Amino acid sequence: MNDEQLLRYSRHILLDEIGIESQQKLLAARVLVIGAGGLGSPAALYLASAGVGSLTIVDDDDVDLTNLQRQIAHTTARVGQPKALSAREAIAALNPDVQVTALIERVDDARLAELVAASDVVLDCTDNFKTRHAVNRACVAARVPLVSGAVIRFDGQVSVFDPRSGAAPCYSCLFPQDQAFEDVACSTMGVFAPLVGVVGAMQAAEALKLVMGIGESLAGRLLLLDGLRMEWTSIGVGRNDGCPVCGG
């Protein structure tokens, strides 16, 4: 690290659990963020501010005025721009040392496999089960840890699915891909703005811990947040022996 980096990341380096060695791991890390909306915005900004060296942001949507109530990476001036490019601009203003690859595309299974295999950790910041399951399959196949988050109305959830551990469940163990789930859109149900910040920041925190190899991740646990009561509930999640994705 150069002198400017030592100063920028000094509050991390002061932490015994991080120090210079773990900060250097962040600088060398490659993180994939799928979705640059409510969850992806705070997640990407915190990953960048913490010093993740390479961020790939995938989103095929454009910034809309209705997004600005909660998607903090975007601005009024960038309404109409692709979200991936808008997020890249926000990150450049925050930490120009971060290498950001902005992909304006809806990725299929083959493209996901390519992107996930080139990453150290993946953040699923999407809002539909089809994409979440596709991301999970790619992470299981490549043995890359997945940090998953979701928020709707006043409810949030976050967990880690780490296929590097033989005992850890995958996303499909918790939400079977052959089970019928109804996708609920913010446009019809609404979402309390600060909750996406809370969950997105937690996704970033879990991703940083995974990269640095510190602490204990949320693998095997699902955290549920009731935003009206501001209460967290932790639920243990076991591996499904019959899971068709990770093999149980």
Report the catalytic residues: 186
Residue type at position 31: V
Rg (CA), the chain: 17
Question: Which of 47, 38, 61, 48 lies closest to 190 in space, CA to CA?
Answer: 38
Residue 109: phi and psi, rounded to 5, are: -60, -40
Residue 2 to residues 6, 10, 37, 225, 232, Cα–Cα distance (Å): 6, 12, 33, 40, 40
CA distance 245 to 164: 14
Contact 200, 211 (CB under 8 A): no
Q: Which helix (H) or strand (E) holds 5?
A: helix 3-8
Go through the chain and tell me how many residues it has: 248
> Which residue do the tokens 């910034």 mark?
63
